[in-house]
DNA sequence: GTCCAGGCATGCA
DNA sequence: TGCATGCATGGA
């Protein structure tokens, strides 16, 4: 991949294994919206971005060298060799055609707090509705950052809300989880920096201390918000996929099971709808 | 009207 | 330990 700085835009050339449509709309991040021109606009870590791709060239609009190096390079996981990762995953004969069909799905390295909050909202919910709730949450309690966009509200900010405030956003029965989660995180009940450096099992145990966080949500948070590529979330769709692996997961998933999971999740949502 | 969605806490055995 | 149940909301 080659990086060019062109005015207020950043151009990446020879980008391999990145499909923006799949990556930004496959249920791992909830704040990206496709624009009429085919590009994607979204907010991450308090910063707005418009991104588009044509052939192997990616354009990041109205951004800076600093934001690219400090935020977006890591966010889009450009330090990982997805071509090699996909080759490894294709050693599994069941996954091979799925990797080909959805080639270019990447794991996004998102803000830990945003992912934690988002996936507590996600439980027993559908992706369209999750996006709506999070959009209303950000508009009501985030910081205005221009382009009509808002940052994801901090735990400190959300710790001032009542259960009723969360219910008003349409969070349903999860309101009580969010109310306590925000207060506990704001009070430092878990140490986000420490979790990053723990072994997977211990990191998961830390997250499970939180009210409203179970094994599935914890695994999503570890995979999308803490860089644990071997975390393997199993939701209602993945339970259906697991029937194809009666003998357990293949060895080629080791260390990158989370990425395999994202391809399988997307496949299940598109192919098993009549379940 | 019924069923379902990137599940969890709770109670009970 | 494992299993059954209730839970808010909106789209299909």
Mean pLDDT of chain A: 97
pTM score of the predicted model:
0.97
Asked if strand C contacts A126 at the CB level, meaning under 7 A, the answer is: yes
- Taking the C-alpha atoms of residue A272 and residue A275, their distance in angstroms, rounded to an integer, is 6
**Stretch A18-28: mean pLDDT, rounded?**
98
**Closest among A117, A79, A95 to A220, alpha carbons compared:** A117
Chain C bases closer than 7 A to any CB of the protein = 7-11
Q: What angle do CA A111, A116, A118 make, to 5 degrees?
A: 95
CA of A237 to C1' of C4 (A): 21
- Which of the nucleotides lies closest to A275 (Cα–C1')? B4
Strand C–CB A124 distance below 7 A: yes
* Whether A138 contacts A151, CB under 8 Å: yes
Band of residue A273 on the pLDDT scale cut at 50, 70, 90: confident
A147/A48 Cα distance (integer angstroms): 8
Q: What is the pLDDT of residues A76-130, one digit of tens each?
A: 999 999 999 999 999 999 999 999 999 999 999 999 999 999 999 999 999 999 9
The reply to whether A261 has its C-beta less than 7 Å from any atom of strand B is yes
* Banded model confidence at residue A146, pLDDT cuts 50, 70, 90: confident
Share of chain A above pLDDT 70, in %: 99
Indicate yes or no: strand C within 7 A of the C-beta of A170: yes
Q: Does the pLDDT at position A37 exceed 50?
A: yes
What pLDDT band is residue A203 in, cutting at 50, 70 and 90? very high
pLDDT at A231: 98
Show the CA angle centred on residue A228, arms to residues A23 and A180, nearest 5°.
90
């Amino acid at each position: 991949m080659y990086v060019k700085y062109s005015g207020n835009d950043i151009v990446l050339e020879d980008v391999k294994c990145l499909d923006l449509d799949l990556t930004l709309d496959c249920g791992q991040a909830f704040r990206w919206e496709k624009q009429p021109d085919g590009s994607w606009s979204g907010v991450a870590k308090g910063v707005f971005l418009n991104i588009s791709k044509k052939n192997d060239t990616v354009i990041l609009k109205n951004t800076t060298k600093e934001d690219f190096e400090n935020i977006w390079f890591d966010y889009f996981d450009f330090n990982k060799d997805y071509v090699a990762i996909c080759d490894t995953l294709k050693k599994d004969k069941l996954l091979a055609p799925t990797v080909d069909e959805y080639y270019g799905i990447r794991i996004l390295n998102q803000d830990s707090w945003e992912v934690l909050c988002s996936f507590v909202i996600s439980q027993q919910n559908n992706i369209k509705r999750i996006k709506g709730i999070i959009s209303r949450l950000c508009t009501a309690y985030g910081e205005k950052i221009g382009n009509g966009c808002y940052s994801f509200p901090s735990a400190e900010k959300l710790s001032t809300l009542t259960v009723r405030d969360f219910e008003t956003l349409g969070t349903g029965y999860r309101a009580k989880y969010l109310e306590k989660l925000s207060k506990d995180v704001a009070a430092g009940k878990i140490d986000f920096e420490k979790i990053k450096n723990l072994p997977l099992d211990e990191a998961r145990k830390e997250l499970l201390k939180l009210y409203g966080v179970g094994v599935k949500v914890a695994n999503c948070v570890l995979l999308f918000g803490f860089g644990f590529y071997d975390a393997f979330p199993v939701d209602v769709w993945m339970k259906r996929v697991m029937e194809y692996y009666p003998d357990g997961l293949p060895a080629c998933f080791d260390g990158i099971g989370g990425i395999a999971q994202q391809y399988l999740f997307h496949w299940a949502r598109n192919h098993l709808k009549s379940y």
